[in-house]
């Protein structure tokens, strides 16, 4: 009988709803003057009314360190309001309410109940009282009480078998800071730290009328419902403007496998893939894929793992779209004694078969019928999970249209076998996350520790590291081509490096090089910016352009099979940029906005002003290190300036073409000759990178940034060019002083004093004399003391406390042993060849580098400190709250303090 009933229902639905538009939930939608959205569905089949209130706030709106607020607040909303300060369930129990609850997830919080129609006013009064009149009822006692409830809820959930899986999963799958990297229940620490003020602020921000949607479904008319809602809710403030997250779907490369143990009887596997957000058509199709894989005994995974191979007790596939991303997954529990690896392999085989073959017509029809039937069952109810009020609210909150479910129905009806195969390959063929949960083995005894813990184990000899062989060639126009073959992966990295860089701006307006390089891929004589973008996507290639201090570069990464088309596009961008006016205006606005940002960020303020103080006016290195120029220069710039930059510097005799990857010169040389043969050599300007002397005395510059929580301290002077005989010793010396986490400056200011999160020293790469800089962001009240410590460390390394044998040994190890992983990619090899080109290093530089590092003596490193470090010639730049730090800096006696603005212009000497 039951079997026949199910079949009849399926056939009836297929006949009456062949067109998805025939399945309807009629509604009226209103928006009140305070922004509250009201949706009313009239249904007189029973004398009940569902009230469903959705607030568009969930754990996604929380911040790191303040997680669990949305869920905690859901609990507090049931604890009484200003005018009904009692448990909310009590009054509803007295009127015969059913299906009353509240839930919180990542993206929304909702409160719902179904009441007899005579109790509709009471339900609306209660909901409006906690929306508009709650804060006076939330005191410390209630907060402490519900905090304890939530924490016990968390403990209870985590105390269940596999109870910590999803916390581990979301933290691992989503990057730190992603709104889905924590669960709605939050962390114990954040719940403990939640203050009464925090809770009140949360309510004020997210529980305004304009952030809420009310659905009333049942035995009431639209006009009547609207009048009641205006009566009870019309006075409630809209609330503040809110920030909404855009779609953010992280990419998983390869298989990210995590192994955990739990007190569980069976091993379980979670295989999770990223998927798109709610409303995306791929989400609808992936839901079909999940059903085909695991729903029903004849489904692919169930039949294979549970029925045929009998290696799993259960298996389920699911799609879980959220508002800005989603997860698609397979969960399988191995039978006791079965190997989880075998379960994993079987799932992989079935998934691979689906990706290759797709679904059958029978499978598609089956899952389509299942989904439509489930939807129809939901239409029987006005409230509760999946009922009509829930459907209307969800579609309004997430998609902005209560009737958007119609689009889902249409997509179900129109889904094809090709759609399912395509979407499965789009989202399941790449990387995924695999979490293995294994039974924890209880041990009653422990074996004797047989490891020698008096010292670290001997790591043996490091692996031999050889730099890739490369050859040099020249095209007929003089363009040098350096090629390093790598045939393991079918990719080719091609980059043109031009002797220009931001230092070339000394011949024009500051910021020209940066903007010109940004504009290269914004249009050519035969391609628009959008065409370039589309063509790159079609070719599977990436292209970028930019400048450092000395060089400008255009970089291409292409797959071998599409190399010809990729190279043609690469050459077109280099040779024929059109610098279209419309794109120029857009990018100029972006660069001006970036400059404004730089002038309010302490670190970038210092980077902007420091070069001029070291090199003076007229030197190529005296412009802001950010390369963006000034507001005045960029405002005055025109496309003619960009064309002049390109014309002056982009010449084959001023450039080098570096090729690394799956090709040979015999293959790529003729292609390059054909593409670049019309590119003619010519004269190139000579940048002024003349020698500058150290300052005769120390100099102190202060940039006032009122109310700064920290001061950023820079101290430095010029150092020898990169290409010098002592360079390797200089690098090792800086490693000891401030070049790493364990360096002296960082250990002093961070680990010993706790005044800074991190402090470093760096010798900035350059063809000419380079900046040697020590820098530290420090708490404001320790500015003077931090400057004194930096001065002391810089002085000591070339004086009373030269590098110790242990420090130099660590520096040698780090500089040499990290090479094993340095050249893993074609891009990394191209970077290192680019260094050789930029600084005129010999061809065997990288082949001999490790040996030279290991051969360094303590004396050579000590001599490098004496060669580079000049403590009495330091130029200090401090960005911070002048009112709080100036007096202290003056006490140091480093010289007169000179005030600068954010552009480095002098404001006059500071007063005593």
pLDDT at res. 444? 53
Residue-level pLDDT at 22: 53
Give which of 731, 714, 720 is closest to 803, Cα–Cα: 731
Backbone dihedral angles phi then psi of residue 439, each to the nearest 5 degrees: -60, 135
High-pLDDT (> 90) share of the chain, %: 63
Phi, then psi, of 227 in degrees rounded to 5? -65, -40
- Strand, helix or coil for residue 779: strand
Question: What does the DSSP 8-state code read for residue 305?
Answer: I
Measured N-to-C along each axis, helices 281-294 and 361-378 cross at an angle, to the nearest 10 degrees, of: 110
- SS3 annotation, 543-572: EEEEECCCCEEEEEEEEHHHHHHHHHHHHH
Which of 357-366, 526-535, 872-881 is least confident? 526-535
Measured distance CA(427)–CA(283) in Å, rounded: 10
| 376-379, Cβ contacts within 8 angstroms, sequence gap of 24 or more | 376/9, 376/13, 376/17, 376/23, 379/23, 379/25
Contacts of 260 (CB under 8 A, 6+ apart): 164, 165, 168, 435, 436, 437, 438
Of the pLDDT bands very low, low, confident and very high (cuts 50, 70, 90), residue 834 is very high
Q: What is the pLDDT of residue 248?
A: 94
3-class SS at 627? coil
The Cα 720–Cα 733 span in angstroms is 14
Return the minimum-mean-pLDDT range out of 10-19, 98-107, 522-531: 10-19
Q: How much is the average pLDDT of 219-231?
A: 94
Torsion from C-alpha of 603, 605, 606, 607, nearest 10 degrees: 90
Average pLDDT over residues 3-15: 26
In the predicted structure, residue 564 carries a pLDDT above the cut 50? yes
Against a cut of 0.85, is the pTM above it?
A: no
Distance of alpha carbon 557 from alpha carbon 570, whole angstroms: 10
Backbone angles phi, psi at 523, to 5 degrees: 150, 140
Segment 606-643, tens digit of pLDDT:
999 999 999 999 899 999 999 999 999 999 999 999 99
What's residue 442's pLDDT? 62
What pLDDT score does 1 carry?
A: 24
85-94, 166-175, 304-313, 702-711: range with lowest mean pLDDT: 85-94
> What pLDDT score does 600 carry?
79
> What's the pLDDT tens digit per position in 230-251?
999 999 999 999 989 899 999 9
Q: Buried b vs exposed e over 45-80: b needs ≥16 C-beta within 10 Å?
A: eeebbbbbbbbbbbbbbbeeebbbbbbbbbbbbebb
Flag whether pLDDT at 291 surpasses 90: yes
Residue 453 has pLDDT above 70, yes or no: no
pLDDT value at residue 447: 58
| Three-state secondary-structure class, residue 596 | helix
Of residues 911 and 423, more confidence is placed in 423
Question: Of 150, 63, 140, which Cα lies nearest the Cα of 102?
Answer: 150
Contacts of 498 by beta carbon, 8 Å cutoff, 6+ apart: 551, 552, 553, 649, 650, 654, 655
Residue 395 to residue 274: CA distance in whole angstroms: 22
Long-range pairs, 563-568, Cβ under 8 A, ≥24: 563/492, 563/663, 563/668, 563/671, 564/671, 565/535, 565/539, 566/539, 566/541, 567/494, 567/668, 567/671, 567/672, 567/675, 568/675
Q: Where does the pLDDT of residue 443 fall: very low under 50, low under 70, confident under 90, or very high at 90 and above?
A: low
First to last CA, the chain: 98
| Confidence (pLDDT) at 24 | 85
Q: What is the rounded CA–CA span in Å between residue 286 and residue 428? A: 10
For position 100, what pLDDT does the model report?
82
Query: What does residue 557 show for φ and ψ, rounded to 5 degrees?
Result: -125, 120
Q: Is there a contact between 38 and 165 (Cβ–Cβ < 8 Å)? A: no
Task: For 364-380, give one letter per residue: b (16+ CB within 10 A) or e.
Answer: bebbbbbbbbebbebee
The helix/strand/coil state of 313 is strand
Give Rg (Cα) of the chain. Answer: 34
- Model pLDDT, residue 748: 92
Q: What is the per-residue pLDDT across 143-202, written as a single tens digit (0 to 9) for each?
A: 887 877 777 677 666 766 788 899 999 998 999 999 999 999 888 888 888 889 988 998
Question: What are the tokens at 6?
Answer: 């199910």
pLDDT of residue 143: 86
pLDDT of residue 415: 96
226 membership: H or E segment, kind and range: helix 222-233
Report the alpha-carbon distance of residue 215 to residue 50 in Å, rounded: 8
pLDDT exceeds 70 at position 825: yes
Nearest to 617 by CA among 688, 718, 685: 688
735-745 mean pLDDT: 91
What's the pLDDT tens digit per position in 396-427? Answer: 999 999 999 999 999 999 999 999 999 999 99
pLDDT of residue 5: 26
Question: Do 480 and 657 contact (CB within 8 A), yes or no?
Answer: yes
**pLDDT (0 to 100) of residue 3:** 25
pLDDT tens across 857-884, in order?
999 999 999 999 999 999 999 999 999 9
How buried is 316 (Cβ within 10 angstroms: 0-12 exposed, 13-18 middle, 19+ buried)? middle
pLDDT reported for residue 15: 28
Q: How far is Cα 681 from Cα 423, in angstroms, rounded to an integer?
A: 50
- Asked whether the beta carbons of 555 and 545 are under 8 A apart, the reply is yes
Between 9 and 500, residue with greater pLDDT: 500
Average pLDDT, rounded, for the chain: 89
How far is the C-alpha of 384 from the C-alpha of 52, rounded, in Å? 9
75-85 pLDDT tens trace: 888 888 888 88
Is the pLDDT at 371 greater than 80? The verdict is: yes
Confidence at 298, pLDDT banded by 50, 70, 90: confident
User: Is 666 a residue whose pLDDT tops 80?
Assistant: yes
Mean pLDDT of 545-571: 94
- Residue 332 — pLDDT band, cuts 50, 70, 90? very high
Residue 2: predicted pLDDT = 26
pLDDT band at 12 (very low <50, low <70, confident <90, very high): very low
pLDDT at 471: 97
């Amino acid at each position: 009988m039951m079997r026949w009933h199910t079949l009849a229902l399926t056939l009836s639905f297929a006949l009456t709803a062949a067109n998805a538009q025939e399945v309807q939930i009629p509604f009226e939608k209103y928006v009140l003057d305070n922004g509250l959205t009201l949706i009313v569905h009239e249904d007189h089949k029973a004398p009940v009314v569902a009230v469903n209130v959705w607030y568009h706030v969930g754990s996604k709106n929380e911040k790191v360190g303040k997680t669990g607020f949305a869920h905690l607040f859901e609990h507090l909303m049931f604890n009484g309001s200003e005018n009904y300060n009692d448990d909310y369930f009590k009054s509803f129990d007295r009127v015969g309410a059913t299906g009353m609850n509240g839930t919180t997830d990542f993206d929304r919080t909702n409160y719902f109940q179904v009441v007899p129609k005579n109790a509709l006013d009471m339900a609306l009064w209660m909901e409006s009282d906690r929306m508009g009149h709650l804060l006076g009822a939330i005191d410390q006692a209630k907060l402490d009480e519900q905090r304890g409830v939530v924490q016990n809820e968390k403990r209870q959930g985590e105390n269940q078998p596999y109870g910590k899986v999803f916390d581990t999963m979301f933290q691992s799958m989503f990057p730190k800071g992603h709104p889905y990297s924590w669960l709605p229940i939050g962390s114990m620490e954040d719940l403990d730290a939640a203050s009464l003020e925090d809770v009140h602020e949360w309510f004020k921000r997210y529980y305004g009328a304009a952030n809420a949607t009310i659905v009333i479904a049942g035995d009431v008319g639209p006009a009547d419902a609207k009048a009641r809602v205006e009566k009870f809710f019309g006075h409630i403030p809209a609330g503040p403007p809110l920030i909404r997250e855009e779609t953010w779907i992280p990419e998983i490369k390869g298989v990210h496998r995590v192994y955990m143990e739990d007190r569980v009887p069976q091993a379980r596997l979670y295989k999770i893939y990223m998927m798109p957000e709610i409303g995306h058509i791929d989400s609808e199709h992936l839901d079909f894929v999940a059903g085909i894989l695991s729903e029903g005994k004849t489904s692919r995974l169930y039949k294979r793992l549970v029925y045929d191979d009998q290696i799993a007790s259960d298996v389920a596939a699911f799609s879980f779209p959220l508002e800005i991303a989603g997860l698609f997954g397979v969960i399988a529990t191995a039978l006791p004694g079965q190997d989880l690896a075998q379960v994993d392999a079987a799932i992989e085989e079935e998934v691979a078969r689906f990706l290759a073959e797709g679904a059958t017509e029978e499978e598609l029809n089956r899952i389509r019928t299942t989904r439509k039937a489930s939807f129809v069952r939901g239409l029987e109810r006005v409230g509760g999970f999946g009922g009509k009020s829930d459907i209307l609210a969800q579609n309004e909150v997430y998609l902005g249209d209560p009737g958007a479910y119609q689009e889902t129905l249409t997509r179900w009806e129109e889904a094809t076998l090709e759609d399912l195969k395509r979407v499965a390959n789009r989202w399941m063929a790449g990387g995924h996350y695999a979490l293995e949960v294994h039974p924890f083995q209880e041990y009653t005894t422990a074996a004797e520790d047989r490891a020698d813990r008096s010292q670290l184990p001997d790591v043996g000899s490091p692996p031999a590291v050889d730099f890739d062989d490369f050859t040099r060639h020249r095209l007929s126009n003089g363009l040098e081509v350096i090629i390093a073959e790598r045939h393991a992966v079918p990719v080719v990295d091609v980059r043109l490096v031009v002797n220009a860089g931001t230092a070339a701006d000394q011949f024009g307006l500051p910021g020209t090089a940066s903007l010109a390089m940004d504009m290269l891929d914004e249009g050519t004589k035969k391609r628009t910016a959008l065409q370039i973008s589309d063509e790159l996507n079609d070719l599977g290639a990436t292209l970028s352009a930019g400048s450092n201090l000395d060089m400008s570069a255009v970089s291409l990464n292409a797959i071998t099979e599409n190399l010809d088309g990729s190279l043609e596009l690469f050459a077109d961008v280099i040779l024929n940029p059109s610098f279209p006016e419309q794109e120029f205006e857009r990018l100029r606005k972006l660069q001006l906005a970036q400059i404004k940002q730089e002038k309010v960020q302490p670190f970038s303020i210092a980077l902007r002003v420091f070069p001029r103080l070291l090199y003076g006016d007229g030197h190529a290195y005296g412009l802001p290190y950010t390369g963006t120029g000034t507001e005045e220069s960029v405002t005055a710039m025109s496309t003619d300036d960009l064309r002049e930059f390109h014309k002056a510097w982009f010449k084959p005799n001023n450039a080098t073409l570096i090729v690394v990857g799956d090709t040979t010169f015999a293959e790529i040389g003729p292609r390059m000759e054909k593409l670049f043969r019309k590119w003619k050599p010519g004269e190139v300007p000579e940048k002024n990178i003349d020698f500058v002397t150290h300052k005769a005395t120390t100099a102190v510059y202060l940039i006032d940034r009122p109310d700064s929580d920290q001061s950023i301290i820079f101290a430095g002077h010029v150092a020898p060019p990169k290409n010098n005989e002592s360079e390797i010793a200089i690098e090792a010396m800086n490693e000891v002083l401030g070049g790493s986490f364990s360096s002296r400056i960082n250990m002093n200011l961070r680990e010993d004093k706790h005044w800074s999160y991190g402090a470093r020293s760096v010798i900035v790469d350059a063809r000419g004399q380079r900046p040697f800089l020590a820098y530290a962001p420090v708490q404001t009240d320790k500015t003077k003391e931090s400057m004194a410590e930096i001065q002391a460390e810089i002085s000591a390394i070339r004086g009373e406390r030269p590098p110790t044998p242990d420090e130099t040994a660590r520096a040698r190890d780090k500089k040499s042993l990290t090479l094993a992983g340095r050249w893993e990619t074609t891009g990394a090899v191209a970077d290192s060849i680019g260094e050789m080109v930029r600084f005129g290093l010999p061809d065997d530089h990288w082949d001999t580098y490790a040996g030279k590092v290991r051969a360094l003596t303590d004396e050579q490193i000590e001599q490098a400190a004496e060669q580079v470090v000049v403590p009495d010639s330091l130029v200090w730049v401090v960005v911070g709250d002048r009112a709080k730090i100036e007096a202290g800096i003056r006490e140091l006696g480093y010289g007169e303090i000179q005030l600068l603005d954010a552009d480095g212009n002098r404001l006059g000497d500071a007063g005593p």
